[in-house]
Amino acid sequence: MTGTIAFIVKGGPLVAVLLILSIISVSVVIERYWVMRVASGRVRFSRFYKRLEDLMKKGDIVAVEKLAKEQKGIYGRVMEALINRYKMLGGKVDLFTLKDDLNETMNEQMAIESSLLERNLIVMATIGSISTMTGLLGTVIGMIRCFAALSLVGATAATASQQLAVGIAEALV
């Protein structure tokens, strides 16, 4: 055997485990990239914020609400939550109470959004830890095979050196 498959076979069974963990890791990275891309919304934040600021200065809440719905993504959903809370209060409270209430609403919505963004990150952290330990275990197993080959009693020098080479190759892969 030659090529990549031979390389994997020489590495022993733990290389297959590392390969599976790598595939899972790459799929999580792709999924996270997609989620982050969708989460940012339809328009860049700087443009969204500029349009939002202009509409807020005009006091056009209906246009702000429309802009938030069009934006989609995190910024749009947070803005929608703030608008809904503002409408619910109906201007019946003083400015300081309104500010505190809207700040609390924003923090609640941001907590919801961050939990969506942080999903599957624990998988990446776990794979990072497991992969390191699995690689180290493969090296140890390869070295054990080396020493086992050296300790063969009655083996010819050619057989012992061949077993030693196999163990070293496994440890290095």
Residue 3: inside a domain = no
Rounded Cα distance, 104 and 80, in Å: 14
Residue 6: inside a domain = no
Residue 83: inside a domain = yes
The whole model's pTM is what? 0.68
For residue 3, the SS3 value is: coil
Q: How far is C-alpha 74 from the geometric centre of its chain's CA atoms?
A: 17
**Domain coverage including residue 70:** 43-117
Residue 109: inside a domain = yes
Number of separate domains in the chain: 2
Q: Are residues 47 and 110 in the same domain?
A: yes
Residue 4: inside a domain = no
Q: Are residues 166 and 109 in the same domain?
A: no
The C-alpha torsion from 23 through 24 and 26 to 30, rounded to 10°, is 130
Q: Tens-digit pLDDT profile for the chain (173 aa)?
A: 567 788 777 777 888 899 999 999 999 999 999 988 888 888 888 888 888 888 888 878 788 888 888 888 888 888 888 888 888 877 566 656 677 888 888 888 888 888 888 888 999 999 999 999 998 888 888 788 777 777 765 566 667 677 777 777 766 66
Q: Are residues 140 and 104 in the same domain?
A: no
Residue 8: inside a domain = no
Name the residue type at position 108.
E
Cβ proximity of 148 and 166 under 8 Å: no
